[in-house]
């Protein structure tokens, strides 16, 4: 009998101890069997190519070098170019871009006395500008979110500077249109390797469609040269789409709409521009190509000339030159 009582006391003690430890492991929060694990949004697909050595092809050996020509007439500056770069490029066609670089003649006009407007104009639908290499620069693409019905949702524009989609960019963050026109979407690394000065001075690389000059990332502030970055950053959280009619998942940089401009985080405005001292002026407005998103500016502060409008800009021959890309599946 005494042995049985001892066993019962041991079992009771063991039961109390197990109950205490079991309670200590439980959360004070109620259990929700329907609660799904939250999506962790910490991915950034932004990718820019900054190594000029990745471009090894001298296109000048195959086609005539860019015939970029500029002259000032009245109130306008005129550029004529055959779109062939005066620097090395990557291999085309390639796995992400099936087109071959060809001579494509263009003529552009910009204002000699540009002025800022009361509001900005989106660069979508325009070639943003022409660089000294004779090659145009354009941030936007013609690739969009593909809906389940195989239609494109044009509210969600796929970025070029992303590792989520292969658009066949070379080291100049450039590729080729079906027409054969070679064009930049971001920092033209091979061109800059010939112009760069170790960040000791501003580098004038071209003109925007509204006539304001374009510089590469170095700007002068209070007498010192510094590297400027844009004020854009990824939005927080998840996209509102359902994955069928519009994209879902985290804002990760696959789409232009994944980004937002955050005021006060950069010396550059939402158009990647600023007013300051340049080699040509004590104070003027200018655009900046940056090495972070969006690299090429997304909007104009002045009025873009119609010669830069996609599909409406006549070349010297008077024929309209369409601007579009292959839609990649």
pLDDT digits (tens, 9 = 90+) for 114-150: 999 999 999 999 999 999 999 999 999 999 999 999 9
Q: What is the pLDDT of residues 187-230, one digit of tens each?
A: 999 999 998 788 899 999 999 999 999 999 999 999 999 999 99
In this prediction, residue 9 has a pLDDT band, given cuts at 50, 70 and 90, of low
Instruction: State the DSSP code for 306.
Output: G
Q: Write down the mean pLDDT value for the chain.
A: 86
Pairing state between β 299-300 and 232-234: unpaired
Q: What's the pTM?
A: 0.84
How large is the average pLDDT for residues 142-162?
A: 96
Q: Is residue 32 part of a domain?
A: no
Instruction: State the DSSP code for 87.
Output: S
169 contacts 95 by C-beta, under 8 angstroms: no
Pairing state between β 69-73 and 76-81: antiparallel
Q: Is residue 286 part of a domain?
A: yes
Asked if pLDDT for residue 175 goes beyond 70, the answer is yes
What does the block give as tokens for 281? 């002026």
In this prediction, residue 27 has a pLDDT band, given cuts at 50, 70 and 90, of very low
In this prediction, residue 29 has a pLDDT band, given cuts at 50, 70 and 90, of very low
Q: Is residue 148 part of a domain?
A: yes
Asked if pLDDT for residue 96 goes beyond 80, the answer is yes
Of the candidates 224, 208, 228, which has an alpha carbon nearest to the alpha carbon of residue 290? 228
* CA separation for the pair 245, 264 (Å, rounded): 34
Q: Is residue 67 part of a domain?
A: yes
Of the candidates 321, 244, 254, which has an alpha carbon nearest to the alpha carbon of residue 293? 254
Q: Is residue 327 part of a domain?
A: no
Q: Which residue has the higher pLDDT, 196 or 155?
A: 155
Q: How many helices (H) and strands (E) does the chain have?
A: 2, 19
**DSSP string across 124-162:** TTB--EEETTS-EE----S-EEEPTTS-EEEEEEBPSSB
- SS3 of 199, please? coil
How large is the average pLDDT for residues 230-248?
A: 97
Match 């800009």 to its residue by tokens: 313
Q: What is the pLDDT of residues 278-321, one digit of tens each?
A: 999 999 999 999 999 999 999 999 999 999 999 754 444 333 33
* CA separation for the pair 323, 180 (Å, rounded): 11
Which residue range(s) make up the domain with 229? 51-308
How large is the average pLDDT for residues 180-190?
A: 97
- pLDDT, residue 311, reads 77
Number of independent structural domains in the chain: 1
Q: Cα–Cα distances in Å, from 8 out to 11, 14, 21, 80, 223?
A: 5, 10, 20, 100, 88
* CA separation for the pair 295, 129 (Å, rounded): 13
- pLDDT, residue 103, reads 94
- pLDDT, residue 38, reads 58
Q: Is residue 280 part of a domain?
A: yes
Q: Is residue 314 part of a domain?
A: no
Q: Is residue 317 part of a domain?
A: no
Q: What is the pLDDT of residues 34-73, one digit of tens each?
A: 444 557 898 999 999 999 999 999 987 778 888 888 999 8
């Amino acid at each position: 009998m005494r042995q049985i009582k001892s066993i019962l006391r041991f079992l009771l003690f063991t039961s109390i101890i197990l109950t205490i430890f079991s309670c200590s492991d439980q959360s004070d929060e109620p259990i929700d069997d329907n609660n799904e694990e939250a999506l962790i949004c910490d991915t950034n697909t932004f990718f820019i190519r900054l190594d000029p050595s990745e471009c090894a092809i001298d296109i000048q050996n195959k086609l005539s070098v860019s015939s970029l020509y500029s002259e000032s007439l009245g109130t306008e500056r005129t550029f004529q170019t055959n779109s062939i770069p005066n620097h090395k490029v990557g291999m085309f066609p390639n796995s992400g871009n099936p087109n071959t670089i060809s001579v494509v003649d263009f003529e552009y006009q910009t204002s000699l006395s540009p002025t800022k407007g009361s509001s900005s104009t989106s660069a979508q639908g325009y070639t943003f500008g022409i660089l000294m290499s004779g090659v145009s620069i354009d941030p936007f693409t013609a690739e969009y979110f593909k809906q389940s019905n195989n239609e494109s949702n044009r509210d969600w524009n796929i970025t070029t500077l992303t590792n989520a989609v292969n658009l066949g960019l070379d080291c100049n963050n450039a590729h080729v249109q079906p027409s054969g026109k070679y064009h930049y979407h971001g920092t033209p690394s091979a061109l800059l390797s010939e112009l760069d000065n170790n960040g000791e001075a501003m580098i004038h690389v071209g003109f925007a469609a509204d006539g304001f000059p374009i510089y590469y990332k170095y700007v002068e502030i209070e007498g010192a040269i510094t590297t400027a970055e844009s004020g854009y950053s990824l939005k927080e959280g998840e996209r509102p789409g359902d994955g069928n009619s519009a994209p879902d998942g985290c804002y990760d940089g696959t789409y232009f709409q994944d980004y937002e401009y955050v005021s006060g985080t950069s010396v550059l405005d939402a158009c990647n521009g600023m007013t300051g001292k340049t080699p040509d002026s004590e104070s003027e407005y200018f655009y900046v190509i940056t090495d972070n998103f969006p690299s090429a500016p997304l909007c104009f502060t002045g009025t873009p000339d119609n010669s830069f409008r996609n599909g409406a800009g006549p070349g010297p021959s008077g024929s309209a030159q369409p601007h579009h890309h292959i839609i990649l599946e």
